[in-house]
Amino acid sequence: MTLALVLLLGAALISIAAPRMLVTLAGTSLPPGVLLAAWLGSLGGALFLGASAVVTLAWPDHAPAETAVEAVVRCLSAVSHAVQPWITETMAAVGALGVLAVVVRAVILGRRYAREQARLRTYHRDVVAIVARSRDDDVMWLAHPMPMAYSVAGRPGFVVATDGLSDFLTTGERDAVLAHERAHLRGSHHLIVTTCDILAAVFPAVPLFASAPAAVKTLVELTADQHAAQATSTATVCSALTVVSASTLSQPAGTLGLSNETSLRLRTLNISWRTRWPRLSYATAAALSVTMPMATALAGLAMISTTVCLLATTV
Ligand SMILES: [Zn+2]
């Protein structure tokens, strides 16, 4: 039961404190990919810790790592051992019912989102196949004078761009826009955004899940900008962004494009540093976003436990 308490406290800490910390970090020069990894780590961590707490409660004997946790939170463990077994069993049953309800809701909403996304993808593929043409590249070109590009998810996903993109932008700027869209497809950004939307619908009252869609949508744009800057240059992406953001064309629903939050994106392109080992940085950010709240939860409970012990021995 002590381990379950630590896990639950860790999940609660991530769910409430992580969004505030991550929003604060968004104002620094941290690379957007690292921040995106921290958001995804927090979302996955909150789900994992919450589910693990229920599994630990339902575990027939001492769950793995229970002994180690009890060694740290000794006094509290003595109290939890004195708790009647039926209380733990009731908590496990309530937790299992809660997990089941969440899974059912997630499946229902997930299927609804997946159907809508599939309908949009099919619509885009059918319409674009009729009106667009290929120029011996992987882009579907539309005969429209205004500059615009967007990516549509799928297997495989594809990039749609207008002739205006070639007419208004230099070759370098056009390549930057296309690199941005390809980064969305390579990074599975559509799937990440959809998953965040589903989680927000499943847990609307939990701050972490409720605030994730807006923050993650911005971060995938900033991350794609970074990839485009690596493929071309920061100055090229900045000038491409400036031109495309002036376009009055609206981006189709269910796609990821290029034309929002231009001032933030220009600022981020110019201030955020580049990580030399991106995968290692992303893994570290994701791991820290789970381990830090867990360590805080364990330390907090250990302090409470020690205080309770001291009070009990002095009384
Ligand atoms: Zn984009």
Query: CB within 5 A of ion ligand 1: which residues?
Result: 221, 224, 256, 258
Measured in angstroms, how far is the CA atom of residue 287 from the centroid of ligand 1? 26
Measured in angstroms, how far is the CA atom of residue 203 from the centroid of ligand 1? 26
Measured in angstroms, how far is the CA atom of residue 128 from the centroid of ligand 1? 19
Q: Tokens for 231, please give them.
A: 């493929």
Mean pLDDT of 23-35: 89
Measured in angstroms, how far is the CA atom of residue 23 from the centroid of ligand 1? 20
3-state helix, strand, coil in the chain (%, to 5): 75, 5, 20
Which of 2-11, 59-68, 291-300 is least confident?
A: 59-68
At 223-253, the pLDDT tens digits run 999 999 999 999 999 999 888 887 666 677 6
Let me know whether 216 and 280 are in one domain: no
Rounded distance between C-alpha atoms, residue 303 and residue 315, angstroms = 18
**pLDDT value of position 72:** 66
Mean pLDDT of 185-198: 93
pLDDT above 90 covers a percentage of the chain that reads: 38
Could you give the strand order of the β-sheet that contains 149-152, starting from the edge strand earlier in sequence? Answer: 133-134, 139-142, 158-162, 149-152
Half-sphere exposure at residue 67, Cβ-oriented, CA atoms within 13 angstroms: 3
Rounded distance between C-alpha atoms, residue 47 and residue 8, angstroms = 10
For residue 315, the one-letter residue type is V
The answer, yes or no, to whether residue 19 has pLDDT greater than 90, is yes
Measured in angstroms, how far is the CA atom of residue 178 from the centroid of ligand 1? 10
At 72-110, the pLDDT tens digits run 666 666 666 666 677 777 877 888 888 888 899 989 998
Would you place residue 309 in the very low, low, confident or very high pLDDT band (cuts 50, 70, 90)? confident
**pLDDT value of position 242:** 87
Is there a domain that residue 120 lies in?
Answer: no
Print the domain residue range for 29. Answer: 1-83+275-315
Let me know whether 295 and 244 are in one domain: no
Let me know whether 139 and 231 are in one domain: yes
Let me know whether 284 and 241 are in one domain: no
Would you place residue 210 in the very low, low, confident or very high pLDDT band (cuts 50, 70, 90)? very high
Would you place residue 298 in the very low, low, confident or very high pLDDT band (cuts 50, 70, 90)? confident
Is there a domain that residue 35 lies in?
Answer: yes
Q: Closest Cα partner for 196 from 183, 211, 180? A: 211
The answer, yes or no, to whether residue 198 has pLDDT greater than 70, is yes
Is there a domain that residue 144 lies in?
Answer: yes
Let me know whether 250 and 299 are in one domain: no
Let me know whether 254 and 315 are in one domain: no
Let me know whether 288 and 267 are in one domain: no
Measured in angstroms, how far is the CA atom of residue 255 from the centroid of ligand 1? 9
Is there a domain that residue 116 lies in?
Answer: no
Let me know whether 8 and 54 are in one domain: yes
Is there a domain that residue 40 lies in?
Answer: yes
Let me know whether 268 and 139 are in one domain: yes
Average pLDDT, the chain: 85
Measured in angstroms, how far is the CA atom of residue 150 from the centroid of ligand 1? 7
Measured in angstroms, how far is the CA atom of residue 261 from the centroid of ligand 1? 10
Measured in angstroms, how far is the CA atom of residue 7 from the centroid of ligand 1? 36
Let me know whether 307 and 241 are in one domain: no
Is there a domain that residue 176 lies in?
Answer: yes
Measured in angstroms, how far is the CA atom of residue 274 from the centroid of ligand 1? 19
**pLDDT value of position 16:** 93
Measured in angstroms, how far is the CA atom of residue 72 from the centroid of ligand 1? 47
Measured in angstroms, how far is the CA atom of residue 223 from the centroid of ligand 1? 9
Query: Domains in the chain: how many in total?
Result: 2
Mean pLDDT of 174-184: 94
Phi-psi region of 261 (alpha: psi -120 to 50; beta: other; left: phi over 0): left
Is there a domain that residue 121 lies in?
Answer: no
**pLDDT value of position 83:** 66
Measured in angstroms, how far is the CA atom of residue 79 from the centroid of ligand 1? 53
Measured in angstroms, how far is the CA atom of residue 87 from the centroid of ligand 1? 51
Let me know whether 78 and 167 are in one domain: no
Measured in angstroms, how far is the CA atom of residue 256 from the centroid of ligand 1? 5
Is there a domain that residue 141 lies in?
Answer: yes
Give the count of beta carbons closer than 10 Å to the beta carbon of residue 100: 11
Let me know whether 73 and 154 are in one domain: no
